Amino acid sequence: MSILQLKNVSYGYIDGNRKRTILNDLSYNFEKGKFYTILGPSGSGKTTLLSLMGALEKTQEGSIEFEGKRLEEIGYTKYRRNNQAIVFQQFNLIPYLTALQNVVNVMHITDNELPKNKEKTALNLLNSFGIVESKAKRGVSQLSGGEQQRVAIARALATNVSLILADEPTGNLDTATQKEIVSIFRKLATEFECCVIVVTHSDDVARTSDIQLKLVEGKLVDITGSPKQ
Amino acid sequence: MYLFTRAFAYIRKQKAKTILLLILFVIIANIVLAGLSIQNATEAAKILTRQEIGADVVYTSNSAKINTDYKSGLLDATTDKYSLAGVPLYSNFTKLLGSEFIETTDVVTSYEVTTDVITPYVFTATTTTTTTTTGGGGGSKIILGTYENSGDLSFRTFNTLTPSDFVNELSTLVNGRFASQEEITSGAYVAIIETTLANLNGIKVGDKLSLTPTTEGYNTVAIEYEVIGIYQSNEIVDERSASMISSSLLAQNRIYTPFNTFTSMGYSQNELDNILLDKAVITLNDPANIEAYMASIDGKIDLVYGSISANDAVYQELAGPIDSLGNLSNILVIIVVIAGASILSLITALTINQRKNEIGILLAIGESKLNIVSQFIVEVVAIALIAFAISTFTGISVGKTISESTLASFASSEATTETVVMPGGGGSKTSTVTAEEIGPVELEVKFSALVLLEFFAAGILISIISVAIPALYVTRFNPKQILTNNG
């Protein structure tokens, strides 16, 4: 079932005197319950594509639809608040809040229906990602990189969204933590029917996904099952 | 409204920034509050000064102008004093009435009486004394310097419950009473005599005195006056002056009686209108109304040889430093508010620039721009409120210190005025109060609730604007731009 639909999306920027096209008439349907990875060399437009899908910026041409509605129609801020969540490579947690407060914060921002006891729900969620209560109540700067990324994932899930976007979520983590995080994404797709889209450089991460996509000349190419990526 | 949690978490976490901002706010608030408190105090001090000076408006002859014109030949001994423009004729005085600001009036004029039954006090010069007491009466005859002695004693009139001489402490009642309102209105033949004269003649309160007025145009008939009070004169005049004037004009020989005795003696309205007053004292219901009253009577009398004074010179002398201090504090407040707002804007702009990444994250997780800006405002306003609360107490001390030192420096550079009491000079004492009598102006530095409310409101408004502008500037970017530039 389609959750996110890219329709003829183009995006470029002016580099000196010429226009450089990053995304070129790109169309693709992402479905619920699947774990996608997007590969591509540096500068191929992976992060730009993720930003457009996360409504961190607007498309220049074409449109993006979430469950059949254009993002403009939903409203960019509302879409970011209620329909998707992004996990960043740099975690992007609010530095002066505790891990728990970072999670509770998004639960207060979203309009989605959530359990009344937000703090308890957030604590349970953090616990399920291996962040115990004592750590949850610490400032995020006192946590390791892996712990911070788990907090970031917990934050993404706290608002009950069905679309999870991740930009190099394992880029700053060791191999063991990397595997742990990837398994969480898999679980989100299979058990929670989420659509998980991960931008990555890592072939190892890509191999664990349901569908492997590659950005080639501004278009997404399905390379799932291809022998050499 | 999790933005409050975020705001207070930020304040707690960023202790150095919080303390810096708090100190800045306290400094600005103290100076502004000091300025505002001084402004407030100067207004109160001006009102107090006015009240101290009193609410009396005094209408007299302009002796200085008359003397000058007399010396220059414009006036001479043949000049009819009643015809001089603006002199305090009773008819002129009535033009000053009818104002809602008037509480009481006192009409003071003098005339002489002869007597066969009372021995007048006679001044005897001594070789060693430098001062003695003499009368302040004399009336119209003195004005042109052509005194004609026509009696043994002098009457000074009044038409208020406490005659202005007693209000101004030129005389003090030592026995008996003042005239009642009924006696004043009906022009009852009652008299308040000086203690020296009373002692000299064994006169007591309740005695009857047979006196014959020598007023111009009046048929000399003896009238019986009842002594209702005995007073003591407080006037101080040097011996030389005392020896030069007629004994009837000495204060010891002065008797107070109601002005309306003229009516009782059979004066017509026309005759009353032509009585030349020593002075008319118009007491207003509130000193604050003096300016309004003076404006209301402006132009009613052509004051060529008359003078209407509300002790303005004394008031201006005392109010001058207060006004200067008020203006200074006004300038101080404006400068500090502008400088403070600029510094605050700069600090918050720098702080917000450092928090771009946080803004990007909040935008990326769907927080509204309004809530982000509101969080920053809550942070600054919370610190500002604490600073303002501290400053409410410290600002009073700062304001008091500044105002005291400033007023002291102003006061030392100010000139002083003097009041001249002329022996027998009809109404020469136009100013009833001097700057020295009032003393140094005390500023009561305090805040009214309204001033505090205005200050808090203005401070918070400036804080909000200082934060909102840079915050709105940053939030206009999309989250990717912010995160990319700060990643």
pLDDT digits (tens, 9 = 90+) for B16-36: 989 988 998 898 888 887 777
Flag if A82 and B366 touch (Cβ within 8 Å).
yes
B144-197: per-residue pLDDT in tens? 333 345 678 889 999 999 998 898 888 999 999 999 999 999 999 999 999 999
Flag if A81 and B480 touch (Cβ within 8 Å).
no
Instruction: Decide if A194 contacts A206 (C-beta within 8 A).
Output: no
Q: pLDDT-based confidence at B133, cuts 50/70/90?
A: very low
- Better pLDDT: B41 or A57: A57
Residue A6 lies in a domain: no
Rg for chain A, CA atoms, rounded: 17
Q: What is the least distance, in Å, from the CA of A169 to any CA of chain B?
A: 14
Model pLDDT, residue B239? 72
CA distance A19 to A29: 27
A131-182: per-residue pLDDT in tens? 999 999 999 999 998 899 889 989 998 998 999 999 988 877 778 878 888 8
Arithmetic mean of pLDDT, B42-64: 79
Residue A210 lies in a domain: yes
Flag if A105 and B6 touch (Cβ within 8 Å).
yes
- Give the residue on A whose Cα is nearest the Cα of B11: A96
Rg for chain B, CA atoms, rounded: 35
pTM: predicted TM-score of the whole model, two decimal places = 0.64
Model pLDDT, residue B312? 66
Q: pLDDT-based confidence at B467, cuts 50/70/90?
A: confident
The token duo for A105 is: 């914060």
Q: What is the least distance, in Å, from the CA of A139 to any CA of chain B?
A: 10
Q: pLDDT-based confidence at B130, cuts 50/70/90?
A: very low
Residue pairs between chains A and B whose CB atoms are closer than 8 Å: 71
Pairing of strands B279-284, B56-61: antiparallel
Determine what percent of chain A is predicted with pLDDT higher than 90: 61
- Which of B367, B369, B480 has the CB atom closest to A57's CB atom? B480
Q: pLDDT-based confidence at B382, cuts 50/70/90?
A: very high
Q: What is the least distance, in Å, from the CA of A25 to any CA of chain B?
A: 21
> Which has the minimum average pLDDT: A8-17, A84-93, A106-115, B35-44?
B35-44
Model pLDDT, residue B347? 85
Instruction: Decide if A26 contacts A220 (C-beta within 8 A).
Output: yes
Arithmetic mean of pLDDT, B461-484: 82
Residue A5 lies in a domain: no
Task: Please determine, for residue B380, whether its predicted confidence score (pLDDT) is greater than 50.
Answer: yes
- Give the residue on A whose Cα is nearest the Cα of B1: A108
- Better pLDDT: A75 or B395: A75
Q: pLDDT-based confidence at B138, cuts 50/70/90?
A: very low
- Which of A51, A58, A106 has the CB atom closest to B365's CB atom? A106
Residues of A in contact with B379 (CB under 8 A): none
B327-336: per-residue pLDDT in tens? 887 888 888 8
B59-71: per-residue pLDDT in tens? 998 888 888 888 8
| CATH classification at residue A100 | 3.40.50.300
A169-204: per-residue pLDDT in tens? 887 777 887 888 888 889 889 988 899 999 998 888
Arithmetic mean of pLDDT, B446-471: 82
Instruction: Decide if B17 contacts B428 (C-beta within 8 A).
Output: no
Instruction: Decide if B207 contacts B227 (C-beta within 8 A).
Output: yes
Arithmetic mean of pLDDT, B198-221: 83
Structure ipTM = 0.92
Cα separation values, B233 from B114, B134, B174, B250, B254, Å: 21, 8, 10, 10, 9
> Which has the minimum average pLDDT: A6-10, A41-45, B98-102, B426-430?
B426-430
Residues of A with CB under 8 A from a CB of B: 51, 54, 56-58, 77-82, 85-86, 88, 90, 92-97, 101, 104-106, 108-110, 139, 155
Residues of B in contact with A57 (CB under 8 A): 478-481
- Non-local CB neighbours of B63 within 8 Å, separated by 6+ positions: B143, B422, B425, B428
Beta strands (DSSP E) in A60-192 are 61-66, 69-70, 84-87, 163-167
Residue A147 lies in a domain: yes
Model pLDDT, residue A142? 93
**DSSP codes of every residue in B242-260:** HHHS-GGGSGGGEEEEETT
What is the domain range of residue A154?
Answer: 32-58+75-222
Residue A27 lies in a domain: no
Q: For chain B, how many residues are written? A: 487
Model pLDDT, residue A49? 93
Model pLDDT, residue B149? 54
Backbone angles phi, psi at B100, to 5 degrees: -65, -15
Residues of A in contact with B481 (CB under 8 A): 57
- Provide the domain count of chain A: 1
Domains of chain B, residue spans: 2-51+318-486, 55-311
Residues of B in contact with A93 (CB under 8 A): 361
- Non-local CB neighbours of B348 within 8 Å, separated by 6+ positions: B376, B380, B466, B467, B470, B471
B299-324: per-residue pLDDT in tens? 888 888 888 887 666 777 777 777 88
Model pLDDT, residue B425? 39
The token duo for B344 is: 């605050």
- Give the residue on A whose Cα is nearest the Cα of B482: A56
Quote the mean pLDDT of chain B: 79
∠B481-B486-B487 over CA atoms, to 5°?
Answer: 100
Residue A17 lies in a domain: no
∠B82-B83-B85 over CA atoms, to 5°?
Answer: 110
